[in-house]
């Protein structure tokens, strides 16, 4: 029963992992025979490659802004929708649609047009008398912001997860808080937020892992520019491998990324005891 | 009386806010649809407007359907459907088998293999792409549709995880009774368990459909000749300013690329929302 998965795992993961580790220790451009150079690729990344640091910086900024913003916004909207109003199903659907189509090229094309030259954003600001010399995507200070905004726009799936978690909080908790006369903010920080921490934790890990693999937006909307200000780590890896045919170095970059994600995951798991609240009797 | 009035004001404020947010969320899509109807000359006159001043829908869609690089658009559409359907069916079946094995069958190193499943969930697939490329090249599969299907047909960690959770919620007596009645494993799985885990299967199918349909990274690397392009690659080529500057056609084809996703969403919305709530899969 496990055979199909096992076959795929060996072919698409296990063997690639082994040869990737090996290539990361070699100088290899697809045509030559890989020559073993030890840890040189790793040393080169950390000591002699400014673009590596730039890509790392861009990706960290992306993750550090996107993940909290998206989760906070998702939680905020989920709390607003967690009430009795008519038409909730419709709103839920509207807010969720961007999450579904967000990964497609078509959406990246739309964002490129909206925030690009002669785009919607520029024209609208122009109509209000705010003239800009460059578009948001042409400006090194704002281009990454546009890409982060696109990620926040796709808050829908996190919102759905929060909604279902909110529904599972026992109403009796809120009733006793009401009896005690607790203020709404206090109810939020003392009941809602602690009860949601397992969900937040799970989301945080997923979103961080996902954030580090950002590629399509960076590739289609800005192609890493202007001046590498939106050069994501995976885009840089891609260029190293398939523009410069620097396969060994690209493999080393890949393993550095795995290590970074690994560190984040381990640190999050280590700290969960201090802030993630699990109900007694539930794992 | 005062209380009632306050409640009405509250409700109106909620709906105004929710509709505004809904409009912002859906605006990029409406913009894309409207732009696909605008004539190329008037496209950038009032870019934010959702009402075309000069309609040119027929020309846009006709010119888009002509395709790029000498390949008509229906070819890309067919490729996308082919890859997505084969990939989706294989992915869901393999995941179902693997999940059944993990949840129900005791075998050696079971925990170790499940750990491997979880590992493939944490490591971004992009990291494996260089060695995968090299393996596929050795197997002479680069620039074939087989290369696009291979990463999917052996199952995916997300789906295995989702289905294992579902299996664990089903009492073992159910399949034990079937086995006593002389059902083999395969027939127990398909006759007894599949009807019960149907929601998980449907949720997995939908996500597999979305992810494969929108997949851009792997086709970008594995495919080079236009007759094997899937839709994301084709759109990317439309976008290339050197070969094309027919925005109307580009937007028209972007609209077409989203239609299958939207139709799928409308049909299976209920399962999606439940599936997400159940497991917290990222859409």
Residue A173 has pLDDT above 90, yes or no: no
Specify burial of residue A128 (Cβ count, 10 A radius: 0-12, 13-18, 19+): exposed
What is the reported pLDDT for B266? 85
Q: What is the CATH number of the domain that holds A120?
A: 1.10.3720.10
Could you give the residue ranges of the DSSP H alpha helices within chain B?
2-35, 57-65, 73-104, 110-122, 129-138, 145-153, 157-168, 172-180, 185-187, 194-214, 217-222, 231-239, 247-279
Taking CA–CA distances from B213, the nearest residue in chain A reads A104
Give B-chain residues touching A3 at CB under 8 angstroms: 97
The shortest C-alpha distance from B99 to chain A (Å) reads 8
Residues A224, A218 contacting (CB under 8 angstroms): yes
Residue A12: inside a domain: no
Name the residue in chain B with its Cα closest to that of A17: B128
Q: What percent of chain B has pLDDT over 70?
A: 93
Domain hosting residue A99, numbered range = 50-275
The predicted structure's pLDDT at residue B271:
74
For the cut 70, the answer to whether the pLDDT of residue A186 exceeds it is yes
B241 pLDDT more than 80: no
Calculate mean pLDDT across residues A16-39.
89
pLDDT digits (tens, 9 = 90+) for B191-206: 888 888 888 898 899 8
ipTM higher than the 0.95 cut: no
Domain contains A34: no
B:59-88 residues touching chain A, CB 8 A cutoff: none
Instruction: Kindly report the pTM of this predicted structure.
Output: 0.90
Segment among A20-29, A182-191, B38-47 with least mean pLDDT: B38-47
pLDDT at A63 over 90: yes
CA dist., res. A12 & res. B136, Å (int): 10
The pLDDT-based confidence of B283 (bands split at 50, 70, 90) is very low
**B76/chain A closest Cα distance in angstroms:** 14
pLDDT tens column, B73-118: 999 999 999 999 999 999 999 999 999 999 888 888 888 999 999 8
Rounded average pLDDT over B15-23: 92
Mean pLDDT of chain B: 86
* Average pLDDT estimate for A4-32: 90
pLDDT of residue B176: 82
pLDDT > 90: percent of chain B: 43
Instruction: Examine the pLDDT at A282 and tell me if it is beyond 70.
Output: no
Q: Look at B257 and A106 and tell me if their CB atoms are within 8 Å.
A: yes
Does residue A31 sit within a domain? no
Please give the pLDDT value at position B269: 79
The pLDDT of residue B239 is 79
With respect to residue A281, please indicate whether it lies within any of the assigned structural domains.
no
Would A117 be classed as within a structural domain?
Answer: yes
In chain A, what is the straight-line distance between the N-terminal and C-terminal CA atoms, in Å?
29
Average pLDDT, chain A: 88
For B:221-260, CB contacts with A below 8 A are 221, 231-232, 235-236, 239, 247, 250-251, 254-255, 257-258
State how far residue B282 is from chain A, nearest Cα, in angstroms: 6
- Give the nearest chain B residue to A207 (CA atoms): B282
Does residue A14 lie in a domain region?
A: no
Question: Would you state the pLDDT for residue A70?
Answer: 95
A196: its two tokens: 């949601």
Chain A nearest C-alpha distance from B71 (Å): 19
With respect to residue A57, please indicate whether it lies within any of the assigned structural domains.
yes
A17 within a domain of the structure (yes/no):
no
pLDDT at B230 over 80: yes
CA A15, distance to chain mean position in Å, is 27
Nearest residue on chain A to B105, judged by CA atoms?
A1
- Chain B CB contacts of A163 below 8 Å: 277
* Number of domains forming the structure of chain A: 1
**Of the candidates A159, A69, A109, the residue with the CA atom closest to the CA atom of residue B283:** A159
Between A170 and A132, the more confident residue is A170
B281 has a pLDDT exceeding 60: no
Cβ-based contacts of A262 with chain B (< 8 Å): 122
Nearest CA-CA distance, residue A200 and chain B, Å? 11
Written as six digits, the tokens of B206 are 């939908």
User: Per-residue pLDDT averaged across B177-182, rounded?
Assistant: 82
For the ranges A183-187, A188-192, B223-227, the one whose mean pLDDT is highest = B223-227
Spatial neighbors of A179 by CB under 8 A, at least 6 apart, are none
Tell me the pLDDT tens digit for each residue of B122-172.
888 888 889 999 999 999 999 999 999 999 999 889 899 888 888 888 888
Mean pLDDT of A9-38: 89
CA–CA separation, B232 vs B226, rounded Å?
Answer: 12
Q: What percent of chain A has pLDDT over 70?
A: 98
The pLDDT tens digits for A116-130 are 877 888 888 877 877
Q: Which helix (H) or strand (E) holds A36?
A: strand A35-36
Q: Which of A17-21, A199-203, B15-19 has the lowest mean pLDDT?
A: A199-203
Q: pLDDT tens for residues A238-266?
A: 999 999 999 999 999 999 999 999 999 99
Task: Compute φ and ψ for A88, nearest 5 degrees.
Answer: -60, -40
- Report residue B170 CA to chain centroid gap: 28
pLDDT-derived band at A59 (thresholds 50, 70, 90) equals very high
**pLDDT tier for residue B216 given thresholds of 50, 70 and 90:** very high
Q: Say yes or no to pLDDT of B242 above 70.
A: no
- Residue B243 is predicted with a pLDDT of 57
């Amino acid at each position: 029963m496990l055979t199909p998965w096992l076959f795929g795992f060996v072919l698409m993961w296990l063997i690639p992992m082994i040869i990737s580790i090996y290539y990361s220790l070699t100088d290899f451009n697809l045509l030559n025979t890989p020559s073993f150079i030890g840890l040189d690729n790793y040393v080169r990344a950390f000591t002699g490659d400014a673009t590596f640091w730039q890509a790392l910086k861009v990706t960290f900024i992306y993750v550090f802004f996107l993940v909290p913003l998206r989760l906070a916004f998702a939680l905020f909207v989920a709390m607003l929708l967690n009430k009795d109003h008519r038409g909730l199903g419709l709103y839920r659907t509207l807010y969720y649609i961007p999450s579904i189509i967000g990964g497609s090229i078509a959406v990246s094309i739309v964002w490129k047009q909206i925030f690009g030259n002669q785009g919607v954003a520029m024209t609208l600001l122009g109509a209000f008398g705010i003239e800009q010399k460059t578009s948001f995507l042409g400006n090194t200070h704002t281009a990454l912001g546009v890409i982060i905004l696109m990620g926040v726009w796709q808050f829908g799936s996190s919102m759905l997860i929060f909604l279902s978690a909110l529904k599972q909080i026992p109403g009796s908790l809120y009733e006793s808080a009401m009896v005690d006369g607790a203020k709404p903010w206090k109810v939020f920080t003392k009941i809602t937020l602690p009860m949601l921490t397992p969900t937040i934790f799970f989301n945080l890990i997923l979103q961080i892992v996902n954030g580090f693999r950002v590629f399509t937006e960076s590739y289609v909307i800005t192609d890493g520019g202007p001046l590498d200000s939106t050069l994501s780590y995976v885009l840089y890896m891609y260029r190293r491998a398939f523009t410069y045919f620097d396969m060994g170095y690209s493999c080393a970059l890949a393993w550095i990324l795995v290590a970074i994600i690994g560190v984040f995951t381990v640190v999050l798991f280590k700290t969960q005891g201090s802030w993630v609240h699990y109900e007694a009797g539930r794992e | 009386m005062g209380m009632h009035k306050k409640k009405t004001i509250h409700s109106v404020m909620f709906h105004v806010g929710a509709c505004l947010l809904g409009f912002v969320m859906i605006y990029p899509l409406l913009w894309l649809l409207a732009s696909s109807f605008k004539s190329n000359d008037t496209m950038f006159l009032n870019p934010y407007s959702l009402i075309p001043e000069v309609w040119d829908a027929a020309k846009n869609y006709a010119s888009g359907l002509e395709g790029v690089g000498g390949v008509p658009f229906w070819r890309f559409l067919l490729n996308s459907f082919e890859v997505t359907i084969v990939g989706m069916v294989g992915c869901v079946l393999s995941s179902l088998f693997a999940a059944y094995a993990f949840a129900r069958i005791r075998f050696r190193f079971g925990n170790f293999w499940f750990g491997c499943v979880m590992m493939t969930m944490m490591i971004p697939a992009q990291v494996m792409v260089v060695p995968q490329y090299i393996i596929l090249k050795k197997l002479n599969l680069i620039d074939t549709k087989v290369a696009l299907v291979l990463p999917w047909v052996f199952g995916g960690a997300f789906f295995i995880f989702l289905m294992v959770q579902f299996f664990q919620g089903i009492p073992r007596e159910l399949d034990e009774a079937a086995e006593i009645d002389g059902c083999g494993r395969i027939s127990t799985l398909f006759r007894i368990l599949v009807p019960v885990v149907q929601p998980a299967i449907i949720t997995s199918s939908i996500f597999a459909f979305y992810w494969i349909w929108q997949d851009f990274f792997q086709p970008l690397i594995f495919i080079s000749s236009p007759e094997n392009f899937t839709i994301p690659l084709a759109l990317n080529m439309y976008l290339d300013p050197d070969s094309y500057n027919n925005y109307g056609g580009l937007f028209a084809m972007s609209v077409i690329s989203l239609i299958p996703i939207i139709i799928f969403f409308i049909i299976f919305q209920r399962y999606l929302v439940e599936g997400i709530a159940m497991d917290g899969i990222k859409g």
